[in-house]
Structures are given as C-alpha cells and as structure tokens.
C-alpha cells in the first residue's frame, strides 16, 4: 500500500520556468491538499480539493494552479517559478471525518529550489 | 475555522513527561481536536484526536477540559526520538475538513 506518492522528490528550477508537481493516492480518499513548508516554518495550505471535480484556494494560492485530474491524482503547477517559491511541498489526502479520526495522510514531499 | 495557538518551542530531557497546550477559544460544537507529529524531512502524521475529557493511545494522551477552549497533548517519558514538531488542529467531524496547520510546537528532547 503506497499511500500518497509525490513526484519528483527533488527539483531545481530557474526563475521563470514552469513545472508540475504530481501527487497520487491509492486510498480512495475524497479530499486532497497541497501544502508548502519553508525552512523552520509550519505548513501553509496552498490549494485543496474537497472532492473530485472541485478545487479551492487555501492560505497562499498566488503563483500556483491545481488540477484534480481524477479521484486519485491532484497536481500542482508553477507557471513561472520565483525564488520565493523555494520550499518543500507536501501533498496530503483525507477520507473525511469519522467519529474516530479526522486524519490526513501525507506524501514524502518535494524539495523545490528556484534559482 | 477555529484559530489555534501553541507555544513555538519546548525543551525537555529524556524520561520526562512533556505537556503541550493548545488554545482554541472559538472551537465549534462539532469540532474535534487533532494532533499531528512531524519529524524532519517527513510529512506530518496523525497521533491523536479527541472531543472532550481524556483520550489515550499508545503514543500520547490528550486532555480536553469541559469548556473545550484548550487541549493538552501529553507525551509520557519522552525519548530523543520524540524530537519533532507537534501541530494542534481543530476540524469538524462531518463532511470535508479544511486542514489548516499553524506553526506548531518544536519539541527538542536532550539526553
């Protein structure tokens, strides 16, 4: 059971380049999230998808776009990378709340450096 | 969403009990309190969740007073491997949860 898989694990971009971070989950979860984490900081929500076919902005959406390709996959696109987007990006998924858990499962992260 | 406030950092020594308190004054009736743990270079992972009173599992205990405006994560007899960042989240127990993580509490356990 792979859980949440992110690709790539590492990436170096030049300012102005574009790229797409891929995320896939195999737990049949409805909700998916993208976060960024700067050094020594907490996680900040970029975009989320409550269910297949829907996406919404989180706390820091500027400079990013997302696509919920299907129930399994949720991609994050940087159209024109900037040094301020240097960060570790985490994808997460969640089934939703139950009486036992409100639990999100996270991928291993993508370390992005923009030079 | 209820805003949460927790200490930025805490220090402890191996074998001690550590209590991390989170304030969530605007918690709603159907909100649950959830704690996550994040080790360096990894994504966060769920450790415990509660609604009221006390919850205990193999990792930690969670104490929630009757007014639910705060909660305390208790880690018994910490070890070096408990060095991590601990996040307190408040989210509803129905439907979609917009999971917003704050800055968390950075716990450093020393020998």
Which pLDDT tens digit goes with each residue over A15-56?
999 999 999 999 999 899 999 999 888 899 999 998 889 999
Q: Residue B9 has what pLDDT?
A: 96
Q: What is the pLDDT of residue B100?
A: 85
Q: What region, left, alpha or beta, does residue A53 occupy, with left being phi > 0 and alpha being psi -120 to 50 degrees?
A: left
Look at residue A103 in the predicted model and tell me its pLDDT: 84
- Average pLDDT of span A4-21: 97
Q: What distance in Å separates the CA atoms of residue B38 and residue A44, rounded to the nearest whole number?
A: 14
Q: Find chain B residues with C-beta within 8 A of A4's C-beta.
A: 43
Q: Which of B32, B50, B85, B99 to mutate to test the interface with A (most CBs of A within 10 A)?
A: B99
Q: What per-residue confidence (pLDDT) applies to A101?
A: 66
Decide: B106 and B8 in contact? Cβ < 8 Å.
yes
**Phi, psi for residue A84 in degrees, rounded to 5:** -65, -10
Out of B41, B42, B91, whose CB is closest to A97?
B91
Shortest distance, CA A6 to any CA of chain B (angstroms): 11
Q: Closest Cα to residue A96, out of B111, B74, B92?
A: B92
Question: What are residue A23's DSSP bridge partners?
Answer: A6
Tens place of pLDDT per residue across chain B (111 aa): 668 999 999 999 999 999 999 999 999 988 899 999 999 889 999 999 999 989 999 999 999 999 999 999 999 999 999 999 999 999 876 667 788 888 899 999 999
pLDDT in tens, A61-101: 999 999 998 999 999 999 999 999 999 999 999 986 555 56
Query: Cis ω on the peptide bond leading into residue A111 (within 30° of 0)?
Result: no
What is residue A1's predicted lDDT score, i.e. its pLDDT?
A: 61
Burial of B77 (0-12, 13-18, 19+ CB in 10 A): exposed
Query: Are the C-beta atoms of residues B21 and B110 closer than 8 Å to each other?
Result: no
Strands A43-49 and A56-57: antiparallel
Query: Which residues in chain B touch residue A107, judged by CB atoms under 8 angstroms apart?
Result: 43
Q: Which residues of B99-110 are buried (b: 16+ CB within 10 A; e: fewer)?
A: bbbbbbbbbebe
Q: pLDDT at position B92, please?
A: 79
Query: Using one digit for the tens of pLDDT, what is the confidence trace for A98-115?
Result: 555 678 899 999 999 999
Q: Are A103 and B46 an interchain contact pair (Cβ–Cβ within 8 Å)?
A: yes
How many Cα atoms occupy the beta-carbon half-sphere of B65 within 13 Å? Answer: 10
Element (H, E) at A89: strand A87-94
User: Helix, strand or coil for residue A37?
Assistant: strand
CA dist list (Å): B45 to A42, A77, B20, B89? 14, 25, 17, 12
């Amino acid at each position: 059971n792979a859980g949440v898989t992110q690709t790539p694990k590492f990436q170096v971009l030049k300012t102005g380049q574009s790229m797409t971070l891929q995320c896939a989950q195999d737990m049949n979860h409805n909700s998916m999230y993208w976060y960024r984490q700067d050094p020594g900081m907490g996680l900040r929500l970029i975009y989320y998808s409550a269910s297949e076919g829907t996406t919404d902005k989180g706390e820091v959406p500027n400079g990013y776009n997302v696509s919920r390709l299907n129930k399994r996959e949720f991609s994050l696109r940087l159209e024109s990378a900037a040094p301020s987007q240097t960060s570790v990006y985490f994808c997460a998924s969640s089934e939703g709340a139950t009486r036992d858990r409100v639990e999100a499962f996270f991928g291993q992260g993508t370390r992005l450096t923009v030079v | 969403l209820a805003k949460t406030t927790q200490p930025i950092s805490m220090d402890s020594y191996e074998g001690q009990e550590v209590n991390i308190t989170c304030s969530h004054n605007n918690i709603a009736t159907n909100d649950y309190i959830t704690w996550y743990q994040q080790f360096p270079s990894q994504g966060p992972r769920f450790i415990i969740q509660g609604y009221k009173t006390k919850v205990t599992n193999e990792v930690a205990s969670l104490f929630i007073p009757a007014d639910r405006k705060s909660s305390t994560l208790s880690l018994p007899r910490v070890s070096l491997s408990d060095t991590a960042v601990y996040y307190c989240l408040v989210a509803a127990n129905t439907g979609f949860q917009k999971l917003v993580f704050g800055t968390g509490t950075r716990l450093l356990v020393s020998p």
